[in-house]
Structure 1
Amino acid sequence: MSNHDSNTSRVLGMNIVETAAANGSFHTLGKALEAADLMPILQDSGPYTFFAPTDAAFEKLPSGTLDNWLKPENKAELISVLKYHVMPGRASFAEVEKLSSPKMMQGQTASITKDGGNLRIGSATITGRDITSSNGIIHAIDAVNVPTKQ
C-alpha cells in the first residue's frame, strides 16, 4: 500500500472529534469538549449525530458564559450543555428533517422545526450538514443550545 492510500484511509477513518477539528470551524467546541473530558467518549464510541456549534455560535453567547462554563467548578453544567448537542445514532440531514423531538445524550429532548427553508434544532439553525466521520455525522449549527435546568 502506498503512503497516499494509507493517508486516505486515515482521513476517512477520522472519528467525530478529529473530523470537527479538521473542519476548522469548531476550535471553541474542541476546547469545551476537552475541558468537559468528553473527547474520549466521542472518539471511541458511537455512532452519534453531533449538532456542533461553530466558533461563531459560541461568540453569540452572553459575555462571560463560556469562560464560566470552562471553570472546573462548572464542569457538570458544561457536560450537560455539550451532551445536549449529541444525539445517539447517525442521522443524515434528510433523516433529521423527519424528526420532531429527538432525545439527546444529555437526557432531554430537543425540538426540530422548519423555519422557512431552514431547519432548526432548539434555537439554532443548521448551517452545515452531513459532515461524516467514522463514528457519526456532524451538522454545524449557528447557536449554542442550553438545556433547561432540572
Structure 2
Amino acid sequence: MMTLRAALCATLLSVCATSAFAGNPNVGGAPMFENKNIIQNAVNSKDHTTLVAAVKAAGLVDTLQTPGPFTVLAPVNKAFTALPAGTVDNLLKPQNKATLVKVLTCHVIPAKALSSAIKKMVNDDGGVHVVETVGGCQLKLSLKGNKVRITDENGGVARVTIADVKQSNGVIHVIDKVLLPKS
C-alpha cells in the first residue's frame, strides 16, 4: 500500500515531468520537451530518422543547437520516401553536401513562428504570406481551412500535420512533404 508521502512524491514527479512539455504534442511517439533544443528532441522521433540523418550528413547539428530562434518545417520519413527513387541516397553522398544543405536550410525560417502568428500573417497579407528561409528559398504560406500549407519554389505543397512543437530554440512544425528549392 502506497503511503501518503510516496503518493505525494509520485504526483509531484508526474507534474514536474509533464510541465516540461505541457501543451507540446508527442512527435513520432516521443514526448517533445520545451526545455530541449530542436536536435535534442528530433533525435527521439521515430518519424524523423531520415531528417536527422540528413541533418547530420549536412553538418547542421551544431547550427540547430544554437539559441536560434528557428522555425523548422520537419518532413516525416514518408515525405522523403515519396521523393523519386534514389534521391535521398544521392543527397546523402559527401559530394552532394552543398545540395543537401540547400534543401535542408529551405526548411528553416530564422524566427520562431507559432501557427497563430503564421495564420495572422497569412490573413493580414490577403491569403498568402511569403517568407524567406535560411537557405534563401521563398516559401508561400497559406491556409486551407484552419491548417497551414507551405508551397515551395517549384509549386510543391506541404501541409502542417503537427503544429507548434515548442523547443528551447524555436518551434517545429511537422510537415508531410519535402520542400525543394528552385532547380
Q: What are the superposed Cα offsets for residues 42-100 of structure 1, whole Å, 9 maximum, x if unpaired?
A: 01230100011011111111110000000001000000000000001101011122241
Q: What are the superposed Cα offsets for residues 92-143 of structure 1, whole Å, 9 maximum, x if unpaired?
A: 0111222411110001211112234432112111111000110010000000
**Cross-structure match for 2:182:** 148
**Cross-structure match for 2:110:** 88
118-127 vs 27-36, which moves further: 118-127
Q: What are the superposed Cα offsets for residues 11-58 of structure 1, whole Å, 9 maximum, x if unpaired?
A: 442101112222332111000000000010001230100011011111
Amino acid across the alignment from 1:120? R
The answer to whether the 8 Å contact 2:39/2:65 transfers is: yes
**Cross-structure match for 1:19:** 41
**Cross-structure match for 1:69:** 91
**Cross-structure match for 2:23:** none
| Partners of 2:104 and 2:159 in 1: CA distance | 17
1:102–1:44 distance in 2 versus 1, CA, 3 Å: same
Are 2:149 and 1:120 equivalent residues in the alignment? yes
Q: CA RMSD, aligned part only?
A: 2.2
* Structure 2: gaps (5+ residues): 1-8, 21-32, 123-128, 152-156
| Partners of 1:121 and 1:21 in 2: CA distance | 24
Amino acid across the alignment from 2:52? G
| Partners of 1:143 and 1:93 in 2: CA distance | 18
- What's the TM-score, normalizing by structure 1? 0.88
- What's the TM-score, normalizing by structure 2? 0.73
* Structure 1: gaps (5+ residues): none
| Partners of 1:28 and 1:143 in 2: CA distance | 13
Task: Give 1:126-141 correspondences, 5 Å limit.
Answer: 126-141=160-175
| Partners of 2:96 and 2:179 in 1: CA distance | 17
| Partners of 2:148 and 2:170 in 1: CA distance | 19
Structure with bigger RCO (C-alpha 8 Å, 6+ apart): 1
**Cross-structure match for 2:4:** none
| Partners of 1:12 and 1:121 in 2: CA distance | 24
Give the length in aligned residue pairs: 147
